[in-house]
């Protein structure tokens, strides 16, 4: 109760009740010359992302951010996703996962048994996983590459620039590229 007005006080949000995540921080150096003097400025630019996500104080082993959504892999192998769900990309299939990776409108998870499941948009075949047992996956904007247990790499999804054509060989790591 407010002692001055006699009215019941309404709960107020405090900074401690908000969930936020540090996204990026960088130093920006600016050098300029005015009237024959060099002025140097250093700015610390930090970005914060407010999360209206159901993040609890659970422990996470991995966070993967995509075009419009983000997923977190908890230490118990469960996955939680938040953000835009226009194609079902944040609706996680049941299972125990060892890795997750997200693209623009889809998500892929490597299960504990080595199988891969992808969900969300399948406009380019990015959620149609080739058979096999995988040890690592990596999602690009609209394609995915997976490292199989035998060391070979298979990619699926959009191949507009021949990104699915993997040279024969034995690989130890895979990366499908950055989201732009």
Q: Would you place residue 161 in the very low, low, confident or very high pLDDT band (cuts 50, 70, 90)? A: confident
Buried b (16+ CB within 10 A) or exposed e, 86-111: ebbbbebeeeebbbbbbbbbbbbbbb
| Top-ranked range on mean pLDDT: pick from 18-27, 81-90, 159-168 | 81-90
Q: Is 159 or 51 the better-scoring residue by pLDDT?
A: 159
* Domains located in the chain, CATH noted: 56-157 (2.130.10.30)
The pLDDT of residue 67 = 81
Task: Please state, in angstroms and rounded to a whole number, the distance separating the CA atoms of residues 35 and 18.
Answer: 47
Residue 86 has pLDDT above 90, yes or no: yes
The pLDDT of residue 4 = 41
pLDDT tens digits for range 94-138? 999 999 999 999 999 999 999 999 999 999 999 999 999 999 999
In DSSP terms, 30 is beta-bridged to 41
Average pLDDT over residues 30-36: 55
């Amino acid at each position: 109760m407010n002692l001055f007005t006699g009215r019941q006080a309404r709960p107020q949000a405090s900074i401690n009740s908000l969930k936020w995540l540090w996204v990026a921080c960088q130093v920006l150096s600016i050098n300029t010359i005015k009237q024959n003097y060099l002025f140097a400025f250093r700015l610390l630019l930090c970005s914060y992302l407010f999360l209206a996500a159901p993040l609890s104080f659970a422990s996470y082993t991995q966070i993967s951010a995509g075009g419009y959504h983000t997923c977190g892999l908890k230490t118990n192998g469960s996955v939680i996703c938040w953000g835009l769900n226009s194609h079902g990309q944040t609706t996680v299939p049941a299972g125990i996962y060892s890795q997750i990776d997200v693209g623009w409108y889809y998500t892929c998870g490597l299960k504990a048994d080595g199988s891969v499941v992808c969900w969300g948009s399948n406009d380019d075949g990015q959620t149609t996983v080739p058979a096999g047992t995988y040890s690592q996956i990596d999602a690009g904007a609209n394609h995915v590459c997976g490292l199989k247990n035998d060391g070979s790499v298979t990619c699926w999804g959009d191949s507009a620039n021949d990104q699915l054509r993997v040279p024969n060989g034995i690989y130890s790591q895979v990366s499908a590229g950055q989201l732009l």
